[in-house]
Amino acid sequence: MSNREWENLQTTAKFVRNRLHNKPRIGIILGTALGGLTEEIANPVEIPYAEIPHFLQSTAPAHAGTLIGGEFAGQNVVCMSGRFHYYEGYSFSELALPVRLFKLLGVEIAIITNAAGAINTAYAPGDFMLISDHLNLLAVAPTRGLNLDQLGPRFFDISTVYDLKLRELAFAEANQLHTCLREGVYAFMTGPQFETPAEIRALRVLGADAVGMSTVPEVITAAHCGLPVLGISVITNMAAGILPQDAPLSQVEEVGTEATADLIRLLKGVLNKL
Ligand code: HPA
């Protein structure tokens, strides 16, 4: 990241800070069809991405394009309703922007959600999966290029970015709510095509439990700037080749939308205890 990028980031953060009523403690990124959560945010300030200087635009279906500040479950939050994906044409360094913005706004915990296909055959659509680790087979990094020392060191550890305490808290809440919460490894694939059955078999051998087209660039960025992450996948479908049918594309949005109410309950429980 160059000085120019750092200056742009400061401009972005200053603009957003001036519009928000509170300093957010929790930053939330909502996955496909999970935007319903934003209706639960009290005293919302909505900022369309298009108004934010040097920000990106959402082009993905079932992703709004609004940053929302307000209160959720007793916490000051800032929430991205509509995220950015590599398949939209953004570079990995561009995908670092939202989490870096969180950091500059004062966020202390990032909650990153997504819709994912199950590779683990014990999972079923509608389950939630806590992300305990990920596979980044692309081996690319949003932090590639000149390091921005103001945000974090050149080399950094990401082995504990999926924070154990946050995961324990989420499990305790899920138990109380009788919500089916799995825990597993998320494999990042770029899309926009869904995977081939051979790719899914290969990912299973490599230890993946679910697959999706997001999250990992954001999580690496969070690790770089020292933000702990709670990562939750909503399992919307069985991955390619597991069932004798084509990738059920419409199912992703349907199941995501249906799961939103349970996700809200789970996150409320977690945030109330933070
Ligand atoms: N593959 C990739 N991304 C996805 C899937 C999938 O099966 N389901 C939801 N997002």
CA of 268 to the centre of ligand 1 (A): 26
pLDDT band at 255 (very low <50, low <70, confident <90, very high): confident
- Residue 34 sits in which domain range? 3-272
For 10, the enclosing helix (H) or strand (E) is helix 3-19
Ligand 1 pocket by Cβ (under 6 Å):
115-117, 189, 194-195, 211-213, 236-237, 239, 252
**Which stretch, 2-16, 131-145, 193-207, has highest mean pLDDT?**
193-207
pLDDT band at 1 (very low <50, low <70, confident <90, very high): low
Q: pLDDT tens, 61-105?
A: 666 789 999 999 999 999 999 889 999 999 999 999 999 999 999
Ligand 1, atom nearest to 239 Cα: 7
Best residue for ligand 1 mutational test, from 211, 232, 235, 251 (most atoms within 8 Å of Cβ): 211
Give dist(CA 234, CA 158) in Å, integer.
23
- Give me the DSSP letters along 194-226: PPPHHHHHHHHHTT-SEEESSSHHHHHHHHHTT
Q: pLDDT tens, 12-37?
A: 999 999 999 899 999 999 987 777 88
Residue type, 207: G
256 CB-contact burial (10 Å; exposed 0-12 / middle 13-18 / buried 19+) = buried
Q: pLDDT tens, 193-242?
A: 999 999 999 999 999 999 999 999 999 999 999 999 999 999 999 999 99
CA of 121 to the centre of ligand 1 (A): 14
Give dist(CA 130, CA 76) in Å, integer.
23
Give dist(CA 25, CA 81) in Å, integer.
17
Rg (CA), the chain: 17
Query: Which CATH number covers residue 84?
Result: 3.40.50.1580
CA of 110 to the centre of ligand 1 (A): 22
Q: Can you say how many angstroms the Cα of residue 221 is from the centroid of all Cα atoms in its chain? A: 11
User: What is the pairing mode between strands 109-118 and 26-30?
Assistant: parallel
CA of 247 to the centre of ligand 1 (A): 9
Q: Provide the sign of the torsion angle of the four alpha carbons 23, 156, 139, 93, taken in this order.
A: positive
CA of 244 to the centre of ligand 1 (A): 16
Residue nearest to atom 2 of ligand 1 (CA): 212
114 CB-contact burial (10 Å; exposed 0-12 / middle 13-18 / buried 19+) = buried
Mean pLDDT, residues 39-67: 87
179 CB-contact burial (10 Å; exposed 0-12 / middle 13-18 / buried 19+) = middle
Residue nearest to atom 6 of ligand 1 (CA): 117
Percent of the chain with pLDDT over 90: 79
What's the pLDDT at 217? 96
49 touches 98 (CB < 8 A): no
177 CB-contact burial (10 Å; exposed 0-12 / middle 13-18 / buried 19+) = middle
Q: Provide the sign of the torsion angle of the four alpha carbons 273, 256, 60, 51, taken in this order.
A: negative
* Rounded (5°) CA angle 198-162-155: 90
Ligand 1, atom nearest to 212 Cα: 3
State pTM to two decimals.
0.95
Ligand 1, atom nearest to 247 Cα: 7
The structural domain count of the chain equals 1
Residue 214 CB neighbours (<10 A): 28
Give dist(CA 35, CA 30) in Å, integer.
6
What's the pLDDT at 147? 92
Q: Which of 260, 233, 34, 241 is nearest to 134 (CA)?
A: 233
Q: pLDDT tens, 154-204?
A: 999 999 999 999 999 999 999 999 999 999 999 999 999 999 999 999 999
Structure-model confidence comparison of residues 112 and 21, the more confident one: 112
Best residue for ligand 1 mutational test, from 252, 254, 257 (most atoms within 8 Å of Cβ): 252
What's the pLDDT at 34? 79
